Amino acid sequence: QFNFEGRNDMIKFLKLIQSFGMYAIVRIGPFIQGEWNHGALPYWLREIPHIIFRANNEPYKREMEKFVKFIVQMLKDENMFASQGGHVILAQIENEYGNIKKDHITEGDKYLEWAGEMALSTNIGVPWIMCKQSTAPGVVIPTCNGRHCGDTWVMKDENKPHLWTENWTAQFRAFGNDLAQRSAEDIAYSVLRFFAKGGTLVNYYMYYGGTNFGRTGASYVLTGYYDEGPVDEYGMPKAPKYGHLRDLHNVIKSYSRAFLEGKQSFELLGQGHATSRFLRKSYAWLSSPTTIQGRTEL
């Protein structure tokens, strides 16, 4: 049984997003990680005979397909997808499968192929993505998760857009961990660097902090989650990240057509320097990913 009441009311949440003119990426999963208990998979799945999670396993694939198609139909019925006039612009199948694919040897590739084909068969009219999976099958778009995707992400298919779906604004903490800070300057630099290298979308994870109530959090994860995000769980902006990123976004928006529609060239100049040129307008970035006298410049 599925429960979409109360704080589980996904449609109400998506409509709230839409009412503020914002777009949404839905991570249908069904494994979504997110430091949720059991990766957000229900515990009753374990009782199905012969099931193997996230594998080329018929019992798991049967339950996964049932769930994905149920969620997709819910969204279609409410005209949530951008192809229907809604604000859901991307849908994600699976989550960071590249971290475990090698454990399944060749069966991992077979599972990915199946998952991609099953997702595409739903005909939602917006792209499907797989995060942290550089070999996403067919027209499914692979996306990057991390802190510096402009330098670490390598696309296998240059005919697909470069998407960064998790730009980590800090880091979740487990019991006993030290604080995992990340400066506003480093986040801003990483965003500009990604666009300079041909990126087309950056999504933050997380932009606001929150609390994992009860036993919703994964093992050993603190109940306070991403409390170093630009917005805290009470909706209050946290300086300096909030203001610094707000100004960055205004700059990027003012040049967005050049970034996204202009013909780009990238040239290494040596000694850690490089240029990115966008030929739609007379505009170029000079970037230096190396640290000079205690600071990194872009």
What three-state secondary structure class fits 279? coil
Q: Within 13 Å, how many C-alpha atoms sit on residue 125's CB side?
A: 13
Alpha carbon 188 to its chain's center: 17
What three-state secondary structure class fits 63? helix
How far is Cα 232 from Cα 276, in angstroms, rounded to an integer? 35
Amino acid in the structure at residue 220: Y
What three-state secondary structure class fits 60? helix
CB-based contacts of 221: which residues, under 8 Å, 6+ apart? 35, 172, 173, 174, 212
φ, ψ for residue 213 (rounded to 5)? -75, 150
Amino acid in the structure at residue 267: E
Residue among 58, 77, 98 nearest 4 (CA): 77
Return the bridge partners of 65, or none: none
Token digits of residue 111:
């599972």
CA distances from 192 to 1, 71, 185, 218 (A): 44, 35, 11, 32
How far is Cα 238 from Cα 72, in angstroms, rounded to an integer? 35
Instruction: Return the active site residues.
Output: 96, 166
Token digits of residue 153:
């992400």
